[in-house]
Structure 1
Amino acid sequence: MWVLFFIQLSVVLIFLVIGWAILKKEAYVLISSFRSRPKSEQEELIKNGYPQKTGKMLLVTGLVLMALLPLLLTSFPYALEMHIGVMVIMLLGGFIYVSRYDLPSKRKRSYIISVLIAVITVGTLAVVFFLGFQEPKMSFNEDTFVISGVYGEEWKYSEVTHIELVDEMPEVTLRTNGYGTPTISKGHFRIKDVGNSLLFIYKGNSPYLYIETGHDKIFINSKSADQTKDWYDLLKEQVRKSG
């Protein structure tokens, strides 16, 4: 959690420093959309208040995010997601607002582009979070078992070499290709003393079902401990039958 905290703190400080430099030191060259304009347009943008509003927007965004940072150090389950969501909404909404101060000849185009970027970004994030928070399901066929959802796959019972219920999740040392929050881990991670593994877990919801096949190591659990135990019993029985 401390790593995530310091990453978010660094982002917040960047917003605060850039916003302060633009607003108080008139460092308008820090705004890429301003820096690339001809000198005559830059002067008109300054007169309209475009760079000043941009600096103020970044400064306010940084202050709001700074006020929310302590949540990352609490037990609030979705603090990181909320922090990122507030950041995205404030930045996108801010750029839409600032586009009102663009040159009259480019204001409509700038506004439309800002709105489209906001819609696409928010929509993409919504889909990612929706898929990421879907609970994984195990289903059992005649010869195979399936884990549904993002990163889900199908395995043959004959490939299973080890099944175990563990009360504590081993330490995750690296995320190689996956989705990780303080409460959920899905995808490919490196686990201490285990190696590369495929995770579908809700953190803090023991037990965890650990499965080894000829080429994969899998950790999965449900929000319900009873459901996880049922998966263990069903899989163990199916593997026994296949052998």
Structure 2
Amino acid sequence: MSLIFWTQLLLIILFALFAYLILKRRSYMFISGFATRPEEEQKQLIDNGYPQGVGRLFLIISAGLLLLMPLELTGFRYTFELQMAFMMLVLFGGLIILSRREVPYKRKRAFLTSVIMTVVVIGGTTVLLFIGAKQPDVTLGGSAVEISGMYGEEIPYSDIRSAKLLETMPKIHYKENGFGFADYAKGHFSVEGHGSSLLFVDRKQSPILLIETTNRPVFITGVNPDETKSWHTELDQRIR
């Protein structure tokens, strides 16, 4: 079983467990900040249905994550990403709705806090995904290959042992320090048969340019296959 599978399973179990404890056992202390509220506020929140709403919110998230899991069996490649998007939208959207069940003098602040959190987290995640999914700019200069963008670096031709095209990307074991989303991988990853490697790849693309250097292997894909092939042709000429 993959790490993603166990992550999916853990999230489903955790949200289901918290939903059970809140809705069935009435263990409201598991709700963030509830235990530190004055007893009068706690009673008012319970009367307003706030903790019950949080429990139902967790139950919806757990059920949604579970229902989305079978998509992997259909060959859909973005099941985990879809689950994370569902979780964030339901969680932050639910918190905005639940702010109406706060104690009266805290409702406005709770609503504004929830909206700001939603904008910052979802907006920040969107920007990060956009930057991470952007293909690298590769410049073959007079003495080195320059890869710009996130995790970019300059590789002198003297450090390059070989450059070849691969039809498929070798299996990626785990991320060391990088960005991974859907088929995009940028940064430092452990790759089967190559060890610690630097990746700038869209794994659904073919071919993939593999540059073997004295430091580490580098895998790159362009905007389209023709760009990747042109990099290989020019680079091969320069390192002969």
Residue 26 of structure 1: SS of its match in structure 2?
coil
Opposite residue 55 of structure 1, the aligned amino acid is G
Residue-by-residue CA offset, 1:45-80 (whole Å, 9 max, x unaligned): 111111111111111122122211212343223322
- Runs in 1 of length 4+ with deviation above 3 angstroms? none
Query: 2:164 maps to which residue?
Result: 164
Name the structure 1 match of 2:86: 86
Match of 1:117 in 2: 117
The TM-score, its normalising length taken from structure 1, stands at 0.91
Of the structure 1 ranges 159-168 and 31-40, higher mean CA displacement relative to structure 2 is found in: 159-168
Structure 2 regions of 5+ residues with no counterpart? none
Whole-Å separation in 1 of the counterparts to 2:129 and 2:73: 21
Shift of 1:223: 5.5
2:171 counterpart of 1:184: no
Checking the alignment, whether the CA contact within 8 Å between 2:135 and 2:221 is kept in structure 1 is no
Per the alignment, do residues 216 and 12 of structure 1 end up closer, same or farther by CA in structure 2, a change over 3 Å counting?
same
Give deviations 1:146-172, integer Å, cap 9, x for gaps: 223221122222322222222343332
Question: Is the 1:9–1:69 contact (alpha carbons within 8 Å) kept by the matching residues of 2?
Answer: no
Change (3 A) 1:77 1:140: same
User: How big is the shift at 1:198?
Assistant: 0.1
Q: Which amino acid aligns with 1:125?
A: T
- For 1:86, what is the secondary structure of its paired residue? helix
Instruction: Check if 1:77 corresponds to 2:77.
Output: yes
Counterpart of 1:228, as a letter, is: T
State whether residues 177 and 189 of structure 1, in contact with CA within 8 Å, keep that contact through their aligned partners in structure 2: yes
Given that 1:80 and 1:181 are in contact with CA atoms closer than 8 Å, whether structure 2 keeps it comes out as no
Q: For residues 131-210 of structure 1, what are the structure 2 equivalents within 5 Å?
A: 131-210=131-210
Q: Percent identity?
A: 38
Please say which of residues 43-52 and 133-142 is displaced more in the overlay: 133-142
Q: TM-score, normalised by structure 2?
A: 0.92
Q: How does 1:5-154 map to 2 (within 5 A)?
A: 5-154=5-154
> Take 1:94 and 1:130, find their aligned partners in 2: how far apart are those partners?
26
Q: 1:168 to 1:60 in 2, by over 3 A?
A: closer
User: Which residue of structure 1 lines up, in the alignment, with residue 4 of structure 2?
Assistant: 4
Is the CA contact (8 Å cut-off) linking 2:200 and 2:219 kept in structure 1?
A: yes
1:219 aligns to what? 219
Are the aligned partners of 1:100 and 1:107 in contact in 2 as well (CA < 8 Å)?
A: yes
Q: Does 1:230 align with 2:202?
A: no
Q: CA RMSD in A?
A: 1.8
How many residue pairs align between the two structures?
240
Q: Structure 1: which 5+ runs fail to align?
A: none
